[in-house]
Amino acid sequence: MEDGSGGRCVLCDRLRGDRAAGWLITRAWRRPLPLVPTGIGIWLSTVAAGMVLRVVSGQGIAFTFVIVALVFLGLTLLGWRAAARLARSRRTA
């Protein structure tokens, strides 16, 4: 994928590869919806793998970048699971 400037879409590549590692580690295909351990495992492994890839590629990491990555990925990777859990609990109540 290209990002419009002729470069590769870094976000797209990272999310595909990093999330794949998280899915393998947590075996998420068995139970993809639970926050714990699936959601938390995918979230933290995605952030960790992304930071390792940044260091290996020579981009480096700043503390604030890690915090922003944790918050953004936490909202996107855990948010839908929390919403699904809430919707399911309201349906059964």
Give the ranges where 1-93 is alpha helix by DSSP (H).
10-26, 40-56, 63-92
Q: What is the DSSP letter of 8?
A: B
Within a domain: 3? no
pLDDT in tens, 27-85: 888 887 788 888 899 899 888 888 888 888 788 899 999 999 999 999 998 998 899 88
Domain count, the chain: 1
Give SS3 for 2.
Answer: strand
Note whether residue 2 is domain-resident: no
State both tokens at 4: 């419009």
As a residue count, the chain comes to: 93
Cα 71 from Cα 67, distance rounded (Å): 6
What is the domain extent for residue 32? Answer: 10-92
Taking the whole predicted model, whether its pTM rises above 0.85 is answered as no
Residue 1 lies in a domain: no
